Amino acid sequence: MTHTDLLSPAFRALSARLGQDPLQVQGPGGNTSVKGDGVMWIKASGTELAEAETKEIFVAVDLAAARAEAEGAGDGTCKAAVLDPGVTLRPSIETTFHAVLDWPVVMHTHSVATLTHAISPQGCAAAADRLAGLPVAFVPYRKPGLPLTREILAHIGPDTRVIVLQNHGLICCGETVEDTGDLIATVEARLALPPADLSGPVRGDPPEGRRWVPSATRLGADPRLFRLVRAGSYYPDHVVFLGPALPVADPDDGRPAILVEGQGVLMREDATAAQRAMLDCLVAVLSRLPEDWRADPIGPEAEAELLNWDAEKYRMALARGG
């Protein structure tokens, strides 16, 4: 077997299916990997899992070198571990945790069902009950990359196959693509929550360059939801693509989406697909959050870390087509 044989049709198909489901992955979020014979293929930073069957979105890295970076022998980007020097794409910013998880197949999603539980202390407790009997670990929020990898290692055991990342998402691991896909389906079924309808009529014409988002009307119109949205950002990709929280500002503020209290959400007409997907994700998560669950944002310091991080600036530029 050559190392390219690891990228099987089944692996590409499951990666694409996850990427095409907005309840699992939004825009360039999430990443999948497959490893064998000292090589690991990992989704490239800024690419989209939805295109796993139609584009070359995976990068091959030397597995031992990537694991060494996880242990401090490098900067944690794993750019030096890429096997083909002619490849211009970078490995995912989360390559190190894929490398250290000792399973052939690792799939990381920003599952809406998981996020709804993982942003809330009551949700985490409910998830522990719902996932009882599975080899699951719960990992506190850390900045993606090496800090998250080290936190994962501190909380898992050799048999762990399900990892709930606080304020971040889900990791599922397995021996094969099929059993990993089955495990994802099991977790999704156990954590499923019914969504409320956050849509509503819009009032008045939007300002030039903006449009109302009817599906998100209640984020501005409902006082409880308005407070939740203004409280902060609940997971990394929100910060990366929409900025911290959602602002209440003049329409020429420049931010992709802004809240209008008592009315709804205004989106820039030139917003990128990733920005629109992240607003849809926020609607999907908050529409499922039970009213008696508290939601905890990642906080201003964590937001600043993401906004000032070169790896995320790179992803933002790719999403803009830059």
* 173 and 33 in a common domain: yes
Give the closest residue to 86 by CA, choosing from 46, 106, 56, 52: 56
Domain boundary among 191, 226, 248: 191
Q: What is the pLDDT of residues 101-147, one digit of tens each?
A: 999 999 999 999 999 999 999 999 999 999 999 999 999 999 999 99
* 217 and 186 in a common domain: no
Phi, psi for residue 106 in degrees, rounded to 5: -130, 130
* 24 and 94 in a common domain: yes
Whether 203 is covered by a domain: the verdict is: no
pLDDT of residue 322: 45
Q: Please tell me what DSSP assigns to residue 104.
A: S
* 238 and 96 in a common domain: no
Domain containing 296: what range?
210-319
Give the residue-averaged pLDDT of 172-193.
98
Domain boundary among 159, 191, 223: 191
Whether 202 is covered by a domain: the verdict is: no
* 174 and 98 in a common domain: yes
Given a cut of 80, whether residue 317 has pLDDT beyond it is no
Q: Outline where the chain has alpha helix (H).
A: 9-19, 63-70, 95-100, 112-118, 121-130, 146-155, 177-191, 217-221, 223-231, 236-242, 273-286, 300-307, 310-319
End-to-end CA distance of the chain: 37
Given a cut of 70, whether residue 257 has pLDDT beyond it is yes
Give the angle 24-29-35 at the CA atoms, nearest 5°: 90
Q: Outline where 36-93 has alpha helix (H).
A: 63-70
* 163 and 73 in a common domain: yes
* 23 and 161 in a common domain: yes
Whether 205 is covered by a domain: the verdict is: no
Give the angle 246-90-45 at the CA atoms, nearest 5°: 30
Number of domains in the chain: 2
pLDDT of residue 315: 45
Q: What is the pLDDT of residues 59-89, one digit of tens each?
A: 999 999 999 999 988 889 999 999 998 898 8
Whether 184 is covered by a domain: the verdict is: yes
Whether 204 is covered by a domain: the verdict is: no
* 218 and 145 in a common domain: no
Average pLDDT over the chain reads 93
Identify the H or E element spanning 259: strand 257-260
Q: How many CB atoms lie within 10 A of CB 86?
A: 5
Given a cut of 80, whether residue 251 has pLDDT beyond it is no
* 254 and 168 in a common domain: no
pLDDT of residue 312: 47
Whether 197 is covered by a domain: the verdict is: no
- Give the neighbor-by-neighbor strand order of the sheet with 257-260: 210-212, 264-268, 257-260
Give the residue-averaged pLDDT of 159-180.
98
* 277 and 156 in a common domain: no
* 177 and 47 in a common domain: yes
Is-contact 215 201, C-beta < 8 A? no
Query: Any idea what the CATH number is for the domain that residue 95 is in?
Result: 3.40.225.10
User: How buried is residue 241: exposed, middle or buried, by Cβ count under 10 Å (0-12/13-18/19+)?
Assistant: buried
> How far is the C-alpha of 210 from the C-alpha of 262, rounded, in Å?
17
Given a cut of 50, whether residue 202 has pLDDT beyond it is yes
Give the closest residue to 18 by CA, choosing from 27, 5, 9, 8: 27
Alpha carbon separation from 67 to 52, 73, 76, 254 (Å, rounded): 24, 9, 9, 41
Whether 259 is covered by a domain: the verdict is: yes
pLDDT of residue 313: 52
Domain boundary among 191, 224, 243: 191
pLDDT of residue 249: 75
Given a cut of 90, whether residue 179 has pLDDT beyond it is yes
pLDDT of residue 191: 98
Instruction: State how far Cα 256 lies from the chain centre.
Output: 19
* 104 and 34 in a common domain: yes
Q: Please tell me what DSSP assigns to residue 50.
A: G
Whether 30 is covered by a domain: the verdict is: yes
